[in-house]
Structure 1
């Protein structure tokens, strides 16, 4: 409850995480998942869509701008996630945003053209979402949008357009970005992403003795009461697990 009205929630499918955000993401919100390389951003995002289909019967779209769709499918099988199974059922759609850029032919059903502009990119994502009546959307990642569109100087404008469209069509969305230096407060590549998103989740590492431990911090989540503490999480054989009652770093 926030004030006197109840917020409809979308469960993340990530064990332990929803305990930190009053049961799930506010429905229709846009959440930025940020962190350094190797922190688990892609796994977090794909888990959100895959578990949405598997556990909650909610279709989802994954826009992959950093690796080919076939590579993403193969990597996710390490967690026992058969993305192709749900693609056949039209519960998941994967948009290949890599092949055309690097000049590799693609047989994927959803492929972004190599010379697409920002407006066409947004229209295409809108059409794919509508084609399977998606309730969840992942775009991995924001820096790759800027690189792909060759319009880095317009990234703030493009992100504002994107956020407006996502709010209009009502999907609950995760956008990923790089955090260059979280310890110094740099939690996004362009320093604008966190202001546009309605929620911000930071995945990072902390030194504990002679090893690195992963932690999660919810920097912002509108319409939600949440802790500002750092919580441990692991990437297990079945995906990400958050420990809300574990040791707080």
Structure 2
């Protein structure tokens, strides 16, 4: 008799979302969250890591490549998320990948140097993940990796290396990227991100009654049954909230 394989799930910490993916992300998977500017990608990723520490006791790492760690902490307080509290408890680590690039001093515990190559960049993230025994990771964002490393023409190789090391670490990861024209089928900046990820989530806007409404679409999620419908979501005082039974666009 063949024993049915059960996929271990990781709760997203995003109200309503896990109902769409059979209870959570497959453990150890890499998920791409893509969308235009202002669609909520950073909030989605940080919420995944923060709620992991707050609700499930799972340590996590945030690699911020678009804003300084101190700015990220301040912005997330708007949702009542005290990142520093869990940093002090060793349940959360923020890697500052901005200060050195723009030539600003940093007092952060974890700081990426300004001249790291791809291999050193990935090795540093690996060390921090192991240092706090992280189970969750978010890297915000892929275009900033290319900018930082001055290796945009080699982004495919870097992303393949990144995917390999993430699978080796066994963390459940979210990578964010820009979707230049999602309405025309372009859901990532380089056209390779969606192929290295095991899951792809699109966050976007739709005009409805002369107003922009947010929606979420799961384009891919391996080992998971999911709908291909567009579900409404909003970003309120508690973060990202998805409405699986709401009006489908």
**1:149-228 → structure 2 map (5 Å cutoff):** 149-228=149-228
**Distance in 1 (alpha carbons) for counterparts of 2:214 and 2:154:** 33
For residue 144 of structure 1, report the CA deviation from its aligned partner.
Answer: 0.1
For residue 118 of structure 1, report the CA deviation from its aligned partner.
Answer: 0.2
For residue 210 of structure 1, report the CA deviation from its aligned partner.
Answer: 1.2
Please give the per-residue CA displacement for 1:138-177, whole angstroms capped at 9, x wherever unaligned: 0000000000000011111111111110101100000000
TM-score normalised according to structure 2 size: 0.99
Please give the per-residue CA displacement for 1:11-45, whole angstroms capped at 9, x wherever unaligned: 00000000000000000000000000000000000
Aligned to 1:99: 99
Aligned to 1:77: 77
RMSD (CA atoms) = 0.7
Aligned to 1:131: 131
Aligned to 2:66: 66
**Distance in 2 (alpha carbons) for counterparts of 1:96 and 1:49:** 16
The 3-state SS of whatever aligns with 1:209 is coil
Aligned to 1:240: 240
**Distance in 2 (alpha carbons) for counterparts of 1:193 and 1:4:** 31
Q: What is the number of residues matched between the two proteins?
A: 247
Say if 2:48 is the partner of 1:48: yes
**Distance in 1 (alpha carbons) for counterparts of 2:4 and 2:31:** 24
**Which structure 2 residue ranges, 5 or more long, are not aligned?**
none
The 3-state SS of whatever aligns with 1:183 is helix
**Distance in 1 (alpha carbons) for counterparts of 2:239 and 2:77:** 10
**Distance in 2 (alpha carbons) for counterparts of 1:236 and 1:17:** 15
**Distance in 1 (alpha carbons) for counterparts of 2:96 and 2:157:** 23
The 3-state SS of whatever aligns with 2:164 is helix
The 3-state SS of whatever aligns with 2:111 is coil
TM-score normalised according to structure 1 size: 0.99
For residue 4 of structure 1, report the CA deviation from its aligned partner.
Answer: 2.5
